[in-house]
Structure 1
Amino acid sequence: MDIKVKDSNGTLLADGDNVTLIKDLKLKGSSTVLKRGTVIRGIRLTDNEDEIEGRTDKIKGLVLRTEFLKKS
């Protein structure tokens, strides 16, 4: 099972890549909003090709959909 994870532009993503948000995202269960242009460093791929795990300076353990990301 070889999952190919792509960002919103169709660029392949790999473990450890840095990605940038292309849209403001409100986090579920929190009043925090991740602004467009926020860099997510050192992503990890999941079993789902539409989701990645990452972290920002303030928030750890984020699961983000690849449709809102572009490779930095």
Structure 2
Amino acid sequence: MSETRDCNGAILNEGDNVTLIKDLKVKGSSTVLKRGTVVRGIHLTDDPEEIEGRTDKVKGLVLKTCFLKKA
């Protein structure tokens, strides 16, 4: 399995905390996750371009790593 990296090239590991670098709309919802939102305790997926995580507002998010930086 290849390494999962954030937008700056830092390697992401299971359980890391990441921060959003851009406002993101949540599909199927009117919620917008603001830049700087912290996603705690990420879960790595089979795709090195995606992670699973949760915020205070939304549970079960799948996020692209190009919009994340390691916290």
RMSD: 0.5
In the alignment, the residues of structure 1 paired with residue 35 and residue 54 of structure 2 have an alpha-carbon distance, to the nearest angstrom, of: 15
Deviations 1:51-70 (A, max 9, x none): 00000012110000000000
Query: How many Å apart are 1:22 and its aligned residue?
Result: 0.1
Structure 2 match to 1:20: 19
Aligned residue pair count: 71
Bigger fraction of residues in strand: 1
What is the letter of the counterpart of residue 36 of structure 2?
G
The runs of 5 or more residues in structure 2 that have no matched partner are none
Which amino acid letter does the alignment assign opposite residue 10 of structure 2?
Answer: T
TM-score by structure 1 length?
A: 0.96
Between the two proteins, what is the percent identity of the paired residues?
72
What's the CA shift for 1:3? 2.1
